[in-house]
C-alpha cells in the first residue's frame, strides 16, 4: 500500500523548565493523524490557546523534534531524511503563520519573499520566467502584480500581506500547507476571501492543508475532518459534519455551543441558542445537497 503523504504517529512533546528542566509541561500527548497521498484534504486541528495546536504545527514543519513518536513524510521519518530529501520536504511542505506582518523584513520590498524562494529552490532558469511564476501566484490569490510588487509591507493591508504569503507558498507548488491561525488577525470582511483561496488551492491544485484554528465556524466552512485538542490530548476526531452536528465529548459540545449565530432571531443565554428551529435552518444552509461547504453561509449555527 502507498504510505500516507504525512503521518504523525504517536507523537508527544514535553517541554522542560526550571532547574535542570525538572518542571515539565506536556504540550502534545500521543497524537496521531494521517493525510493520504492521493486525496487532497483539509484537516483542522482545533482547540483553545495552550491546547498544543502550534506545537503540532512546529513539529510537522520540522522546527521541533518530538519527545517520542515519529513524523513521517511518504513513509520516511522527517528527522532521518537525507539532505536532498529534506530539501524536497522543505519545498513541498509550506507554512502560513498567524501574523501577516511579522513574517516580513520591513526594510525590504515585498518582492524579496518571492525572489528569495526563487533562488533558494531554483524554481526558474532566468529572471523572466521567475517573474512569470510570481505573477501567476499573485493572480491565483486575487492580487494584481502591478499594484503589489515594489511596495513595502507597511504599505499593504493585513489581508494583502497574508495573501502574499499564500502566493509565496503556492509558487513552490507544495503538497501540504500548514496554516497556523491564518485568519485570526484579519478583518472579518477579509477572512472569507482567505478561506475561499484555501478551498481553491485544495480543489483546483490538489494541495492538502493542516488548518490550525480556535474558530470552529471557519473550520466547518472549509474542512473535511477535525481533531479537537485539549491540553495536548485529542478529545474528539472525525468527519467535520459529524463532529459539529453531533459532538460527543463535553468539551467539544462546549466549543460548538459557543459559536455565535448570525441571526437576530436567535437569542443566546449562557452560550446556548434558544431557537432550535433557526439553528437547524442555518445548519441545512451551511452545506449543500452533496455535503460540501456552501460558501453563501459563513457561520455554523
**Dist. CA 114–CA 15, nearest whole Å:** 35
What is the overall mean pLDDT for the chain? Answer: 85
Per-residue model confidence (pLDDT) at position 240: 94
Phi, psi of 179 (to 5 degrees): -110, 105
pLDDT tens-digit profile, the chain (301 residues): 789 999 999 999 999 866 666 778 899 999 999 999 988 999 999 998 889 999 999 999 999 999 999 999 999 999 999 999 999 999 999 999 888 778 888 899 999 999 999 999 999 999 999 999 999 999 999 999 999 999 999 999 888 999 999 999 999 999 999 999 998 888 877 888 999 999 999 999 999 999 999 889 899 999 999 999 999 999 999 999 999 999 999 888 888 888 777 666 765 444 443 334 433 443 444 344 444 444 333 333 3
pLDDT at 267: 54
The separation between the first and the last C-alpha atoms of the chain, rounded to the nearest angstrom, is 40
What cell does 73 get? Answer: 513524510
H helices present in the chain, as ranges: 53-60, 83-92, 111-121, 127-140, 145-148, 158-171, 188-205, 216-222, 240-245, 250-257, 276-286
Task: Record the pTM.
Answer: 0.85
CA angle 168, 173, 178 (to 5 degrees): 70
Output the pLDDT for position 2: 86
**What pLDDT is stored for residue 282 in this prediction?**
39
Q: What is the pLDDT of residue 264?
A: 67
Q: What pLDDT, on a 0 to 100 scale, did the predictor assign at position 118?
A: 94
Sign of torsion over alpha carbons 106, 110, 116, 117: positive
Share of the chain above pLDDT 70, in %: 85
Give the per-residue pLDDT at 263: 67
Coil/strand/helix, residue 143: coil
CATH number of the domain located at residue range(s) 6-212+224-229 in this protein: 3.40.50.300
Domain ranges of the chain: 6-212+224-229
pLDDT score for 258 = 80
Amino acid at each position: 500500500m502507498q504510505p500516507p503523504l504525512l503521518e504523525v504517529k504517536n507523537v508527544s512533546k514535553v517541554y522542560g523548565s526550571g532547574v535542570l528542566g525538572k518542571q515539565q509541561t506536556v504540550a502534545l500527548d500521543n497524537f496521531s493523524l494521517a493525510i493520504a497521498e492521493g486525496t487532497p484534504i483539509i484537516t483542522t486541528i482545533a482547540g483553545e490557546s495552550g491546547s498544543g495546536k502550534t506545537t503540532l504545527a512546529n513539529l510537522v514543519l520540522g522546527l521541533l523534534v518530538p519527545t517520542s513518536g515519529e513524523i513521517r513524510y511518504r513513509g520516511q521519518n522527517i528527522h532521518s531524511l537525507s539532505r536532498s530529501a529534506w530539501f524536497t520536504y522543505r519545498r513541498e511542505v509550506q507554512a502560513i503563520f498567524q501574523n501577516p506582518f511579522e513574517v516580513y523584513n520591513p526594510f525590504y520590498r515585498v518582492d524579496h519573499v518571492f525572489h528569495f524562494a526563487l533562488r533558494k529552490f531554483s524554481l526558474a532558469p532566468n529572471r523572466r520566467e521567475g517573474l512569470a511564476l510570481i505573477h501567476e501566484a499573485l493572480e491565483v490569490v486575487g492580487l494584481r502584480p502591478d499594484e503589489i510588487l515594489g511596495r513595502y509591507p507597511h504599505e499593504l493591508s493585513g489581508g494583502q500581506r497574508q495573501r502574499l504569503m499564500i502566493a509565496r507558498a503556492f509558487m513552490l507548488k507544495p503538497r501540504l500547507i500548514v496554516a497556523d491561525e491564518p485568519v485570526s488577525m484579519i478583518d472579518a470582511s477579509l477572512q472569507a476571501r482567505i478561506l475561499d483561496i484555501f478551498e481553491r488551492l485544495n480543489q483546483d491544485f490538489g494541495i492538502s492543508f493542516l488548518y490550525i484554528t480556535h474558530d470552529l465556524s471557519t473550520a466547518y466552512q472549509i474542512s473535511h475532518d477535525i481533531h479537537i485538542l485539549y491540553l495536548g490530548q485529542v478529545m474528539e476526531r472525525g468527519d467535520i459534519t459529524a463532529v459539529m452536528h453531533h459532538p460527543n465529548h463535553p468539551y467539544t459540545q462546549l466549543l460548538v455551543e459557543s459559536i455565535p449565530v448570525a441571526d437576530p432571531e436567535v437569542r443566546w443565554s449562557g452560550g446556548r441558542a434558544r431557537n432550535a428551529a433557526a439553528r437547524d435552518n442555518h445548519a441545512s444552509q451551511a452545506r449543500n445537497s452533496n455535503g460540501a461547504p456552501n460558501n453563501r453561509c459563513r457561520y455554523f449555527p
